[in-house]
Every structure is written in structure tokens, then in C-alpha cells.
Chain A
């Protein structure tokens, strides 16, 4: 790891309005072309942390994205540089057609409609959803929704992808497709997930959240082992049987 970190977070603290302390001094760095998995129990602060990375929540402490301090002046730039994929795609896909949804970011940025829709088609092709342009987002399968949501993020050409539980609701084939897609994307990634298989496949390292703090960091496998972060411990994959085809 060398050079300026893409994300640098120093002593970040955040309290929700009801008084719940969600982040209690988080320190975190993400470097170029790195993928980091955020592990941790429900309610440990992973999502709250992810929402800070493009300024949707603002806590105390220092957040720097691509060298820019997270403040009002830099907010628009930072939101372009950090693409956020939400856990529930129904929250992210709010336009009446897939094409319009993907074009939402550029249209919001004032790009002219022709150009925005051309780029939306490209982004959809990138995630293998070019055929669904005219479809309504609510008629898509969970895996398709996820891909379309990702296209809506990729169209802004972000430098960092922040993904919140990207494999929730996915069936195994859709899960595999998404993992393959994430592996292909060159951006640095922060992935909040319970999914050990996903982390193994795409992350270079992992950090472990507990009660709003990062309590451990290291290689993915080591953290999975140390915290027992495997949904199913036994029996391990049996190599001798192989897939039934």
C-alpha cells in the first residue's frame, strides 16, 4: 500500500437522534484498488459507517475522500467519487423505468438527456442488463434489481464503491453472477457484509466492527476464523462429490 489513501477516516463518532451511539471512534483507511470487507454483528455500525463515506450522515471526526475533506463544499464531488449501493434495491430504484433510473445520476448532474440515456445504456450493458432498458424496476428479480442498482452507481464513474450487504435476497446463481461482476470492476471497494464467501472471493482484507468500533483487522480468512464468521461451520465443502450436472 502506498500513496494517498482514497478514504481516510479518523476517530469518527456518530449518535442517532434517539441517542443511540452508533460509531464510537472509527479509524479506517482504504487504498487504491483495495477491497475491504466490513464484518460485524447486526447493529455494530457497518451501515452507519458506510453512509458516512458519501456524506449522507455526518458525525464528529475526520473523513477524507480522495484527499478531500468531507464538508458542504466538497459534498457534490465526493458523492460523485463514492458510489453507494444500498442493501434494499427497492430503495435505490425509484424511477418508472430501468433506463430512467440508471440515468438519474447524470440527469441530476445536469447532463443533457440524450447523453445521459446513452451512458445509461452503456452502464446497463456493463452489468449485463442492456435488454431491460424499458422494463419497470418492480418487475425485475432480486438479482436483476441489484445489477440495475449497480449500473446506476457505475454510470457516475466513481473511484470507490461502497456496497451494503450486496448479496442479500440473491439466489445462488445471482450470487455467483454478482461476485463475478464485482471481481471485474476495477474500483476500490468497501463491502459491508455477513457473507463470508463473498468476502473471500473479492476482498483483500477485512475489518471487524463491534459496538461502533473497529476491533480487529487483517486478512479475510483470519478474521472469519477468529470471530467464527461463517454462516455454516460444518460440514465444510466436500470436494469429492462435485457439482451434480
Chain B
């Protein structure tokens, strides 16, 4: 599964992994902004952006092919928009959408592949993102695993009982429809239980959930250099 692989990558050690998450978040945001505001990505510029990302991936010791392949997840979605632009007689615009989406997802993957999620949330918190928002993100991430596991179990259970494969066509949607309803009800119930568990441990609505971070000179230097390169590619081509 995607998230498990990403977490294994994030747990590795190396110069990029060791950087302060705030620096990585800042540079990633800058990179995304640079891409989003580039009017028309030329081949050379695309290569330069991709080269920057590839450099970070290699410096972090992550498999370049693996990251590149996972970034393809955005292609079906971006591809649809690109196709519309293409059909509307703007092939270059379609290509730009495709390339920009791909590079953006690639950059996000590099960020989560080099930063353990706990540190990432800590960084967001320290950057001034409201605590309640970070808490919601944390819960989303935390319970994604629980819910996806539940989905797997329910799918297996349905399959083991035939999954309505031979039922009349209009009944076949019963299993997934029922599963969605049950998942929703269970998630609602679980949310209440989790809240109870939080109350039992003294939750008052406020929590400083960030592990202490230290921003060193090295972090700033690396962040500055990376930001400089992004800006050079953005405005230099």
C-alpha cells in the first residue's frame, strides 16, 4: 500500500530526512507556488524542475523510479482535464496541466517520503497552522488505516459469501452500498469513542502536540539554497 511504503521511506535517515520539517514545508510550498505560477512550462523548464526534485530524491536515498511511478497517481485525474483542453484546441495548455500536476504530486511525495508524519504535523503546528486543523489532519491520517483495514475485512467477508455475484443485477450494488452505510455508522461511533478516550485522558480542547524542534544554521542554509534554485528555475527560463 502507498502509505506504508511512504512511511518506510520517511523513517530512513540522511541529510534530507534530518532537515527541520518547517524548512521542507516552506521549500515545498515555494516549489508548488513556483510551478502554479509558471505561465507555460517549456521542456527545458520542466526538465529543470524535475532535475531539482530528482536531486533531492537521490540525496535522500529514495528510489527515483519508485517516487516517479507513485506520482503517476495524479495522471488519470489531470489527464481528464488535459484531454478537455486538448479537444478545445489548446494542446499546449493540456500538456502544461499534465506536467504541473505531475511535478506538484512528485514534490508532495518527496516531502512526505522524507519526513515522518509526526514531524510533519509538528512542523505545521510550529508554522502557525491552527492546532485544531492539525489535530483534524492527524485524525484523518490516523484513522485512514483503521478504516481502510475495515474496508478490506468487509470486502473479504462479502467475497467469502459470494458477493452477490449471481444475484440479479439490481441487487449487486447492495453489498457495496451496505458497506458504505455500515462504515459511516461505525466511523461515527468510533469518533465518539475516540473523543471519550481523549476526555478520559484530560483533553480540554487544547493540545500542544508537537515534539520539540530545533532550527539550526544547517537547516536554514539548505532551505535557502533550495529556495534559491527553485526561484532560479522559475524566473531564469
Chain A residues at the B interface, C-beta cutoff of 8 Å: 51, 54, 56, 76, 79-80, 84, 86, 88, 90-92, 94-97, 99-100, 104-105, 107-109, 113-114, 117, 134, 136-139, 152-153, 156
Distance, CA A112 to CA B209, complexed state (A): 11
Instruction: Tell me the nearest residue of chain A to B203, going by C-beta.
Output: A108
**Which residues of the partner chain B approach A95 to less than 8 Å between Cβ atoms?**
118, 138, 142, 209
Known contacts A99-B211, A113-B210, A136 near B7 by CB under 8 Å = yes
**B94-120 interface bits toward A, Cβ cutoff 8 Å, 1 = contact, 0 = none:** 000000000000000000000011100
B207 touches A (CB below 8 Å): yes
User: Would you call B201 and A152 a contact (CB within 8 A)?
Assistant: yes
Mind listing 10 A-B residue pairs with CB under 8 Å? A79-B201, A91-B197, A94-B197, A94-B198, A97-B211, A99-B211, A100-B118, A104-B201, A107-B207, A107-B209
Interface residues of B in 129-155 (CB under 8 A from A): 138-139, 141-143, 145-146
B102 nearest CB across to chain A (Å): 28
User: Would you call A96 and B207 a contact (CB within 8 A)?
Assistant: no
User: Would you call B118 and A96 a contact (CB within 8 A)?
Assistant: yes
Please name 15 further chain A to chain B contacts, defined as beta carbons within 8 Å, in addition to the given A95-B209, A100-B211, A105-B201, sorted by A numbering: A51-B196, A79-B199, A79-B201, A91-B196, A95-B118, A96-B141, A97-B118, A104-B198, A113-B208, A113-B211, A113-B212, A117-B212, A136-B117, A153-B201, A156-B202
Known contacts A88-B193, A136-B7, A79 near B118 by CB under 8 Å = no
A85 nearest CB across to chain B (Å): 9
B200 touches A (CB below 8 Å): yes
B194 touches A (CB below 8 Å): yes
**Which residues of the partner chain A approach B160 to less than 8 Å between Cβ atoms?**
none
A2 nearest CB across to chain B (Å): 29
Distance, CA A97 to CA B118, complexed state (A): 6
Instruction: Tell me the nearest residue of chain B to A149, going by C-beta.
Output: B197
**B174-211 interface bits toward A, Cβ cutoff 8 Å, 1 = contact, 0 = none:** 00000000000000001001101111111110111111
**Which residues of the partner chain B approach A139 to less than 8 Å between Cβ atoms?**
7
B142 nearest CB across to chain A (Å): 6
**Which residues of the partner chain B approach A56 to less than 8 Å between Cβ atoms?**
196, 199-200
